[in-house]
Every structure is written in structure tokens, then in C-alpha cells.
Chains A and B, each alone.
Chain A
Amino acid sequence: MSRSAGGGPGPPAWARPFVYGFLAVVLATAALGVEQWPFTGWRLFSQTRSGTATGWQVVTVDGSGRESPVDFADLGRGFRGATWRLADFPAMSAAERDAVCRAWADAVTAATGTTVTLVRAYRTRAPVPTDRSQVPAPAPAPAPAPARTLRWECARR
């Protein structure tokens, strides 16, 4: 044990390397914006927002070609991050994407009894509603009409 400047017992010898090493990692990941959880770049609502909300809509297609939106909240907490996984789709292999689609399709079949032949993912764009507001919508207005674009389709194999 080292001694403090006042002469009392000081911090243990390992305390300085431990604290400075830990704080160096905290500062470096913060400054560089590195995400190595739990170390983080602290990106919290850092992007500007506009009157257009973008999102994803995942639908299953049954044998007759009818589309049904998937409500992931109904499938359990383990399925909540569906739209987050879709953001990773471009970096995934086809086999990995198929495995994700199959997991969704199996869960829908188990929950509803529906036979799923295809899973489709649409990118959606919709105006942020200000309908109950008593004041004009902020610029930039007007926001676009609701729209969706098919981005991914995987067959259930």
C-alpha cells in the first residue's frame, strides 16, 4: 500500500493503472465514436429529424398470395429487434438472411397457424402525424404521402 501526500494510507499500487486504463478506454471510445458495448460513442438522438418517418414493414405471404403484416410484439421479446436485424441484411449472406426469415415465418406459423410461403420486407416512408396539433406543421412541409418499397423477399425453405 502506498502512502498519500498527507501521510495516511494511499490507494493500492494497482489503482492508478486500473483507473487510468479504464478511463482511457472510456474516453477513446467516446471520442472516436466506437461501439464496443458496453463501451460506446454515446450517440443518443444525435441526428436531425424531419417530418418523414422511415421504417420497416415485414409481411408474410400465404399460399394464396395474401400478405399479412407481422406484429413482432406479439411474437415475444426475442423478436422485438426485427427492424434492427433488417438494417444488417445487406452485410449478411443469403443463407443468413434466409435463416432470419425462416425464424420469423416459423414463429408466425406457430402463433397463428398460417402457412407462410414467403417473407417480404418493405422500407416504409410516412409523414409524422401532427393531426391533433392546433398549429401548422413545422418546415419542411408537406411531408410525403405514406409509401413502401419492397427491399427483401425470402422464400420459406
Chain B
Amino acid sequence: MTVWAAVDRRLFAEGEASRLAIVRAGLAGLLGLRIALGPFAGLGGQPAALFDPPALLGWLPQMPSRSAILAVQMVGVAAAVAAVARWKPRVTFAVAWACLLLLAGLKDSLGKILHNDVLLLLAAVPLLGAPADSRPGEPTRSARFGWPVEATVVVVAVAYFTSGARKLASSGLDWITGDTMRWIMYQAAAGDRAPTDAVARAVADRPWLATTVAAGIVALELSAPLVLVSRRFRPWFAAAAVAFHTGTWLTLGLDYWAWAVVVLLVLPGWGRLSGRRRQPSAPERRRAAADRATEAIDAAAASATTASAIRPAPVRSTQSDS
């Protein structure tokens, strides 16, 4: 089997409808939260001379008004809620995604590429084409349901791996063994973005700890491609990534919680877990028992009817006259 065939087989393998439904609902909820909580409305009223949009929004002459941004936020949140509730999920998910794409693009129009929402926006793209008929708890497995989530896993792996590789390509091993991490932490401790300066200062004041943290970050990022070949590694990577982003918030005060939620949603096999853990409720058990009894009675009646219908005709013996 060629490498290409192996990649294709992995990417388009059968997947659980339940997992797809959970990932789509989760990402839709995350889109809604980012749209609702983002500081987008405050961008309204920015003077046109300061508007510096990414190429994707080059068609906008200036920052939209505050009321227009608020309207986009309301549409986006409503669409996200509808997608979580599985009401026309393909359309509503796409609308929520488009709203965040526009709003995050406006935030980037201040003049700097921001990565806070980029992983969510890119990870959601394969879900835009996902089949709509998947439900949480549905045990069906099919190649129809597998590819959207597996393509999203590839996006996550590329994002983390490239972040790590870029550090080594730009700065070499000095990024780990030098004082870069200490200076990042000292600078953060001197600012006021983090909820506390104690954690950043604790790292900065201990060269061995700063080196360990730097090595851990690069190791985590470079290990990301393993999620493509080992499903068992995925929950471990997700847990480590959540710890990493929590640490980033505690030390630098940076808003990367959307990244943590994306890896938590995409990497663990939530479909299998939900299927395994879900026990039928007492009414469901009673209904199922009643259904089984009814089916047994129906089956017995049906077999009796069938038996009488196809009862063999009495054999008429023929006696040969010899």
C-alpha cells in the first residue's frame, strides 16, 4: 500500500455518527461563545485611516459601525445555538462560522495577525461539509461520518507541529536552552495581562524550570503528528494541550482557551465514550422490555399463522396398480 493510499484510507475511514454530532455541536457552541464574548463591538467607530484588514476582508472600505457588528454577533450566536440544537445543522453551523470569520477578521484589522480564533476557524472548515443526519448517541458507523472529524484532527496536528517547528527553525535549540523563556516570563510578570504574576515569576526565577517548560512546550508541539497515527495518544495530547494553554493564561494572560476547547472536542473519541457510558433510563428499560415482549408475542403469532398457511397438503398416496 502506498503512503498516499494509507493516508486516504485513514482520512476517509469509517467513523461514528455520534462522534461527528458531538464534535459539530461542541464546535458550534464554541463558535457561539467566541462570537458572544469577543470584544468586537468596541471596534466600531474606528477611523478609516486605522483600518488595516487582512486580504480576505479587503473589500471592506472601513470598520463597520458598532450596530452592524452587534447585528453580526446576534446572528452568529443565534445560528450557533440552532446548530447545537441540530436545527438545519449544516446551514446554521456555516452561518455561525462565517460570522466568527468576519468578526475575527475585523479584530485582525487593527494591524496584526492574531491567532486566538484561527485554530477554531480552520478546524471548523471540514465540518461545513459534514452530513446533517448524525445524532449524539447514535451508534451507526459509516465512511460518511468519519472524514469531517479526521480532517479536523489533521488541522490540529499541523497547527501545533508547525508552531513548534517554527520555534526551532527561527531560533534553534537556543529557544529551549537559552534564556528566552525566562525573559518571556519576566516581561509578562511586569505587565498586567495575567491574573497573577506569581506563576510567571516562579518560572523566570528558576533557570532549570524555565528550560524544562520551554522543552516541554516544544516537545508537546512537535509530538502533535502522533495524533494522526495513534488514537490512544489523542486524549493524552489533548490533556497536555489543555495544561499548556492554562499555563499560558496563568503566566502571560493570553486568550487561547478556544484552542484548548478545540483539542478537547476533536481529539478524544467522544462518540465511543458516550455510547459506552450511556445506560438506558428506567422508563426506557421498561419500554424496551415491553417492546421485546410484544415482539415475542408477534413473532409467535406470526409463526403460527405462517405454519397454518404453509401447512403441507395431506399427502395423497398413490398406489400403483401393479
* A contact residues vs B (CB 8 Å cutoff): 1, 4-6, 8-12, 14-16, 18-19, 22-23, 26-27, 30-31, 33, 35-51, 53, 76-81, 84-85, 87-88, 96, 99-100, 102-103, 106-107, 128-130, 132-135, 138-140
Q: Which of B12, B43, B47, B101 contacts A10 (CB 8 A)?
A: B12
B155 lies within 8 A of A26 (CB): yes
Query: Looking across the interface, which residue of chain B has its beta carbon closest to that of A86?
Result: B111
Q: Which of B14, B129, B180 contacts A8 (CB 8 A)?
A: B14
B184 lies within 8 A of A129 (CB): no
B167: chain A residues at CB < 8 Å are: 45-46
Query: Looking across the interface, which residue of chain A has its beta carbon closest to that of B190?
Result: A129
Q: Which of A11, A23, A77 contacts B39 (CB 8 A)?
A: A77
B50: chain A residues at CB < 8 Å are: 78-79, 81, 85, 100, 103
- The reply on B63 being an interface residue by CB < 8 A is yes
A50 lies within 8 A of B183 (CB): yes
- The reply on B105 being an interface residue by CB < 8 A is yes
B118: chain A residues at CB < 8 Å are: 37-38, 40
A47 lies within 8 A of B105 (CB): no
B162: chain A residues at CB < 8 Å are: 30-31, 41-42
Query: Looking across the interface, which residue of chain A has its beta carbon closest to that of B120?
Result: A38
- The reply on B216 being an interface residue by CB < 8 A is no
A40: chain B residues at CB < 8 Å are: 113, 115, 118
- The reply on B154 being an interface residue by CB < 8 A is yes
Question: Shortest Cβ distance from B193 into chain A, in angstroms?
Answer: 12
Bound state CA distance, A77 and B170, in angstroms? 31
* B contact residues vs A (CB 8 Å cutoff): 8-9, 11-12, 14, 39, 42-50, 52, 54-56, 63, 101, 104-105, 108, 110-113, 115, 117-118, 121-122, 125-126, 129, 141-144, 146-147, 151, 154-155, 158-159, 162-163, 166-167, 169-171, 174-175, 178-180, 182-184, 186-187, 189-190, 201, 204-207
B11 lies within 8 A of A130 (CB): no
B113 lies within 8 A of A81 (CB): no
Query: Looking across the interface, which residue of chain A has its beta carbon closest to that of B187?
Result: A128
> Sorted from nearest, which 5 A-B pairs have the closest CB atoms?
A78-B46, A81-B110, A84-B111, A77-B42, A4-B143
Given contacts A23-B151, A47-B171, contact A103 B43 (CB under 8 A): no
Query: Looking across the interface, which residue of chain A has its beta carbon closest to that of B171?
Result: A48
Question: Shortest Cβ distance from B156 into chain A, in angstroms?
Answer: 11
Question: Shortest Cβ distance from A81 into chain B, in angstroms?
Answer: 3
A88 lies within 8 A of B143 (CB): no
Given contacts A9-B143, A15-B129, contact A33 B166 (CB under 8 A): yes
> Which secondary structure dominates where chain B touches chain A?
helix
Q: A41-B166, A85-B50, A88-B111 are in contact. List 15 more A-B contacts (CB 8 A).
A: A8-B14, A9-B142, A11-B147, A19-B151, A23-B155, A36-B55, A38-B105, A39-B122, A45-B167, A46-B175, A49-B179, A49-B187, A78-B46, A96-B49, A133-B201
A49 lies within 8 A of B154 (CB): no
Question: Shortest Cβ distance from A41 into chain B, in angstroms?
Answer: 7
Bound state CA distance, A30 and B171, in angstroms? 17
Q: Which of A9, A31, A35 contacts B144 (CB 8 A)?
A: A9
A37 lies within 8 A of B113 (CB): yes
A78 lies within 8 A of B11 (CB): no
Query: Looking across the interface, which residue of chain B has its beta carbon closest to that of A8?
Result: B142
A42 lies within 8 A of B115 (CB): yes
Q: Which of B11, B47, B175 contacts A19 (CB 8 A)?
A: B11
A1: chain B residues at CB < 8 Å are: 144
B190 lies within 8 A of A23 (CB): no
Bound state CA distance, A46 and B165, in angstroms? 9
B144: chain A residues at CB < 8 Å are: 1, 4, 8-12
Query: Looking across the interface, which residue of chain B has its beta carbon closest to that of A139?
Result: B179
Q: Which of A12, A42, A79 contacts B159 (CB 8 A)?
A: A42
B12: chain A residues at CB < 8 Å are: 4, 10-11, 15-16
B46 lies within 8 A of A79 (CB): yes
Question: Shortest Cβ distance from B209 into chain A, in angstroms?
Answer: 11
Bound state CA distance, A98 and B167, in angstroms? 37
Query: Looking across the interface, which residue of chain B has its beta carbon closest to that of A1?
Result: B144
Bound state CA distance, A23 and B45, in angstroms? 37
B105: chain A residues at CB < 8 Å are: 37-38
Given contacts A78-B110, A81-B112, A84-B112, contact A19 B147 (CB under 8 A): yes
Bound state CA distance, A30 and B163, in angstroms? 9
